[in-house]
Structure 1
Amino acid sequence: MFESGGGVSALEAARTALHSAERRVGVRHQSEVLAPVPQHLEPLTALLPGGVLPAGAAAVVSDSVGLLGWLLGATQQGKWLAVVGWPALGAVALAEAGVDLERTFLVPDAGGQTVAVLAALLGGIDVVVVGPGALVTGAEQRRLLARARQHGSTILSPETWQGATLRLQVEHATRGGIDHGVGYLREARLTVVRTSAADGPGRRFTVDRDRDSAITVQAPTWASDARTSAG
């Protein structure tokens, strides 16, 4: 039997405690509807410090060709692009990612002159994507990065680049569409860890692409296990 006292009965206190417990474990009464906590969504460029690719620097986007293409489309804004040594990243894929092909050079095979071609492009192109087929040594990476700094160009690579100041690594990805998104991508959710010289330790983002091709980024959390070096 409950006894009253102190202005609040033991029964009322028990009901309050039960109500609090129900909220914690997700129990809902028919007469009660709890609105979900809204997510703070931002455009894809929120993945980048300052919302732009770093000029005069190298950036790495690993483990997702799709994310790299989306970033090119989201940040081009009248810039000239070049893609070297990446036959699989062709005109159709770039156009679907929002890239302006009229301001894009595609060099699937540099014919044994990879370093010379890259050096020439870095002298006049805003963003140069160095694909997996454009094999360059560590020493060549450092020389090309010095040229990018001289001309204010950006090197973008899907693989490790010595001296890179930004790295976006996809930890986990789920995709929807024909053959789970392999045949024709309709939806995607990526967990991306950003490691940047601009803002210190890594941060973890969630990137969503919906059926209407809209791409948004949820507010980041700290990624305590991320590396402190972008390259």
Structure 2
Amino acid sequence: MGIRTITALSPADERAGDIVRLRREIGRMQRRRSDDATLPLPPALQDLLPDQGLQTGTVYSISPSPSLLFALMGAVSQRGSWCAAVGMPALGLEAATAFGIDLSRLILVPSPAQRWLAVVSALAEVVPLIAVNPLSAVRDADAARLTARLRDRGCTVLSTSPWPQGEGLITLHDPHWEGLGEGGVCCPSAR
């Protein structure tokens, strides 16, 4: 006759198992480095930047134009990657979908207050493209620390304000419209 042992898990043991499962899931989601040197751009914008894409691990200052922002995010989202928007409470989600952004892979942090830099830094761990409207000027030391994290994680940031030590500036100037009536497409440029 054998002896049957019944082992009951305590609540602490169950929590430990949950913690291990969560750590595995977080590890699966985290990207240590990007395999891509650039993030894709829509065909209409590819000739504006070297290597026809946004360099990973960098920050670009951009015009605060939702259309430009969505155009830059659209190609990344269509590839199946996640994007994030920080400090932009007025973004139109219907317009985002018109540019091909998958809303199920878009993280919105509309009002991070003065913690916007910490939010961007945390998102850089798992999101390849982050758009941010900084609520305060960026100090050189903070910019250098964030850029080091971006390089390590392969993340790219689009800032609607000037960024110290940024990779480049993408602006809209002398826009001309193509299309019928009030509709159409505005043509951006890069410097």
1: CA distance between counterparts of 2:186 and 2:118?
38
2: CA distance between counterparts of 1:131 and 1:122?
15
The one-character-per-residue Cα deviations of 1:133-160 (angstroms, maximum 9, x if unpaired) are x435223223222211121100111221
> Which structure 2 residue ranges, 5 or more long, are not aligned?
1-42
Shift in Å, 1:88: 1.8
> Which structure 1 residue ranges, 5 or more long, are not aligned?
1-41, 196-231
Deviates more, 1:62-71 or 1:158-167: 62-71
Amino acid at match of 1:43: A
1:188 to 2:185 alignment = yes
Shift in Å, 1:177: 8.4
Matches of residues 90-129 of structure 1 in structure 2 within 5 Å? 90-129=92-131
1: CA distance between counterparts of 2:138 and 2:188?
30
State the structure with more CA Rg. 1
2: CA distance between counterparts of 1:149 and 1:120?
14
Query: 8 Å contact 1:87–1:108 — kept in the other structure?
Result: yes
Query: 8 Å contact 1:85–1:109 — kept in the other structure?
Result: yes
Q: 1:115 to 1:191 in 2, by over 3 A?
A: closer
TM-score, reference length from structure 1: 0.56
Shift in Å, 1:175: 4.2
Query: 8 Å contact 1:73–1:97 — kept in the other structure?
Result: yes
2: CA distance between counterparts of 1:170 and 1:64?
8
Deviates more, 1:98-107 or 1:57-66: 57-66
Shift in Å, 1:64: 3.1
1:140 to 2:142 alignment = yes
Amino acid at match of 2:133: G
| Secondary structure in 1 matching 2:97 | helix
Equivalent residue number for residue 58 of structure 2: 57
2: CA distance between counterparts of 1:49 and 1:131?
25
Amino acid at match of 1:126: P
2: CA distance between counterparts of 1:175 and 1:167?
21
Equivalent residue number for residue 84 of structure 1: 86
TM-score, reference length from structure 2: 0.67
Q: 1:191 to 1:51 in 2, by over 3 A?
A: closer
1: CA distance between counterparts of 2:76 and 2:137?
26
2: CA distance between counterparts of 1:137 and 1:60?
12
The one-character-per-residue Cα deviations of 1:185-211 (angstroms, maximum 9, x if unpaired) are x2134352x22xxxxxxxxxxxxxxxx
| Secondary structure in 2 matching 1:46 | helix
Q: More helix per residue: 1 or 2?
A: 2
Q: More strand per residue: 1 or 2?
A: 1
* Aligned residues with identical type, % of pairs: 33
